[in-house]
Chain A
Amino acid sequence: MNKLKRVLSGTLALAMAASMMTACGKDDSSAGNGGTTSNGGGDASGKQTVHVYTFTDETQTMIDKYFLADEKNKEFADKYQFEYHLTSDANDFIAACEAALTKTEEAPDLFVADADYAQRFAENAKTASLADLGIEINEADYYAYTLDFTTVNGTRMGLSHQAAPGAVVYRTDYAEKYLGTKDPAKVQSDFMSSWDKFKSTADTLKENGVYMISGVDELKRCFMNNRANAWVDADLNYTPDEAKIKELFEYTKKLADDGEVHYIDKTQWTANWFTDMQDGVFCFFGCTWFLHYNLRDNCITSKTGDKDKDGKPTIAESDYKVGNGSYGLWGVIQGPEPYFWGGTWWFGSKQCIDDGSKDVVKAIIEYFCVNDDSMKAYMEATGDFPSKKTVASQLSTSNDMIGGQDHYEIFKASAENVNVGTCCKYDATFNGNTDAALASYCTGAMTLDEAIQSIYKESKVKIPELK
């Protein structure tokens, strides 16, 4: 009996320990929050380690699968190994990266930032300017906003490889069935060109059992990018565009009350959001990278590739075909208002100049953000949209995920209209609190006034200097 007990409890404890191990493993489909991965062969290689701090697994893919895989960069592949420090939560990443920048051990040589905090990183004392890194650019070639975004007192700090103008990605099959046309130009002009038309389209779809959007946080960027000014001015005076915020809140609430939002919850980046890409929801406010980074892998339902370590099948190249899930049943249009969503800015640190890895940092930034040929090759491989007009003008495609449409056509037009006057360095805090306030208002947990007040109150908690 005693032995049985011991064996039993031992087994259980082992099973528990084992389950913890698997829980620690990185799951590609969910937002794994943190972790360090290295592509180097270990210590014996004698290569210098380049520390890359990032909030997205895309960075590693770009460096490993594009930069290092390029024959021309063989010298760097021989000389350096890369260590990736990934933290996906925005606030945690800011803290982790800024803390690491003050150190010399494992300090970032190369780091990337999302739009919410790119300005903040650009102002960091340890960030090297483009001139420090020896990167020269022809400014006229770029979409101006991608440069202005990270310019501090006239000094250009970081570069983005992508411009991220927003668009509306909609289901052509639902449009054909319930709106009578699937032609992008017609859908745009007759059904989506204004917020009023957007609402009546939502009404029509609701009658046919199709939700207009997935969650209450879907419309926020489209409204908020069109505010009159940023959250704060240079002296940290709180300057919200209350009219616009109210407009967003009331409009979203109306959709939610009428049952046209699938979940009255914040859904972006959750499992429900990704599942909605397969069925039941008419449109997503996506942007350039949304197409290949989010929609492409999540719109397909049948996966026939090799099993991953959890035994789930991965996506085989042949799965990307029309008729698998909603693949091929999408169209891209401008939508009611122009906006942009994120973008990835690359920064070199002063550390990379000190530790001698400046050449590779410079080469990577130039490879993705300056050099026309390699930039174009990357954009063609992924369908991403470049920050350089000179490259964008050379791009055209027939994207079978969106029914053979050329998404570059839409983005080329909208990239010119991007307004970044509404950004400030504390956007991560303000936008996070706006999300929460919006969700609270839409569920009825707060009144409109309470919700709008709460944005200021909650932000003031974390930014005591706010006036």
Chain B
Amino acid sequence: MASSFKTRAKLEKNHFGYIFIAPFFITYFVFQIIPLINTFYYSLTDIKAWYVNPEMNYKFVGFDMFKMVLTEDAFKRAFVNTPVMWIMGFIPQLLIALLLASWFTNEKIRVKGQGFFKVVFYMPNIMTATTIGLLFLAFIRPNGFIHNFAIAVGYLKNPQMPFVSGWFGRGVVAFINFWMWYGQTMIVLIAGIMGINPSFFEAASIDGASGWQSFWRITLPLIRPIMTYSLVTSLIGGFQMFDVPNMMGNGDNAALFRFDIQTIVMYIKGIATEGSNSIGKACAASVFLFLITAVCSSVLFYLTSDRAEAKAKRLEKKRAKEAALQEGGDL
């Protein structure tokens, strides 16, 4: 009796917390959950954008829009381009970030001017993607310096010809993404490494471990949660890649490899805001994007989570439960 009273008092004390976290959940509900549900709903209709369809007329078309999306070359292309460009950018991004992070945190090296380098590496992330996209577009266009360089070294035989290779275009987009984000990843990883108890490194070095060994045996395993975080957020961001490739391969800036750098979000945006503004079809494509992202994130999460540890935890819980049951039985 006495104990239950105690519990209630505790709860009453805590419920102010709900008020403090409410704004987030309300915003999240209004601006994320409702649109998310609406997207699923409208993906089954042929609705047009409100500004070409002020009466909001629509009819249900079942899975027609999904079928249409799946059969389109543009979707298949975007579905390949997006992860390819993400992987091309993310692998160097993670490697360089990891390397820099371990250098900056290494007590033996003690890099001088760390603050300066951190700022410099982080800086591309501050610039807007639009600016960077336009800048690189000017570089690779005929008369741009990269184009002129390619002619000078003989990569381009005909100076009138622009870069047409799709892989070149993807490479440029991947490079920009790498260049914009490795600083950010580096900062996150540094934070992760700093969180490791220094006595581990000390103990390792006393036992005669080399820098390489302590990196592989201590740093990497212990920053795995942070790595997972980087990987999953980057994956989600990667699937939503839009600004840089859109700047380089759309509208007046239509570079020649526009088909090879079209991403899923560019495809969705094109359907929703151009032509006949078919929001229904854009929603169907968005549902695919949602599913793909959800599946890939879960797979990544599963692959990178420490399964052995989770298993041990589960086992422990089970044992504790059994023990508790046994105790209850004894009573």
User: Which A residues lie at the B interface, using CB under 8 A?
Assistant: 2, 5-6, 8-9, 12-13, 16-17, 19-20, 23, 31, 88-92, 94-95, 98-99, 101-102, 124-126, 256, 259, 261-266, 269-272, 275, 426, 428-429, 432, 435-436, 439-440, 443-445, 457-465
Contacts and interface: CB of A to CB of B under 8 A. Distances in A.
Contact of A262 (B127, B160, B267, B278): B160
Contact of A98 (B51, B68, B162, B281): B51
Contact of A458 (B68, B74, B141): B74
B164 A443 contact: yes
B259 to A, nearest CB: 7
Nearest to B164: A443
B17 interface: no
Contact of B275 (A19, A272, A457, A462): A462
B252 interface: yes
B12 interface: no
Nearest to B65: A464
B150 interface: no
A368 B126 CA distance: 45
Contacts of A445: 164, 256-257
A31 B252 contact: yes
A12 B138 CA distance: 24
B256 A443 contact: yes
Contacts of A101: 51
B120 A429 contact: no
Interface of B: 46, 49-52, 54, 65, 68, 72-75, 113-116, 118-120, 123, 126-128, 131, 138, 141-143, 158, 160-162, 164, 251-252, 254, 256-259, 267, 270-271, 273-278, 281
15 contacts: A2-B115, A5-B114, A16-B123, A20-B127, A31-B252, A90-B251, A99-B51, A266-B254, A271-B141, A443-B164, A445-B257, A457-B74, A462-B278, A463-B278, A464-B68
Nearest to A31: B252
A61 to B, nearest CB: 21
B119 A102 contact: no
Contacts of A90: 251
Contact of B141 (A12, A92, A270, A435): A270
A461 B142 contact: no
Contacts of B158: 264
B254 A23 contact: no
A462 B276 contact: yes
B169 to A, nearest CB: 11
Given A92-B273, A464-B281, A12 B119 contact: yes
A272 B137 CA distance: 13
Contacts of A126: 54
Nearest to B64: A464
A12 B254 contact: no
A462 B119 contact: no
A99 B272 CA distance: 12
Nearest to A15: B123
Contact of A8 (B115, B138, B160, B276): B115
Contacts of A16: 123, 126-127
A102 B54 contact: yes
A290 B257 CA distance: 29
A97 to B, nearest CB: 9
Given A16-B127, A443-B162, A461-B74, 9 more contacts: A12-B119, A124-B52, A126-B54, A264-B158, A264-B162, A272-B142, A435-B254, A462-B276, A463-B278
Nearest 6 pairs of A and B residues by beta carbon: A462-B275, A5-B115, A98-B51, A9-B119, A463-B275, A95-B273
A436 B164 contact: no
Given A458-B74, A461-B270, A462-B275, A12 B143 contact: no
B242 to A, nearest CB: 14
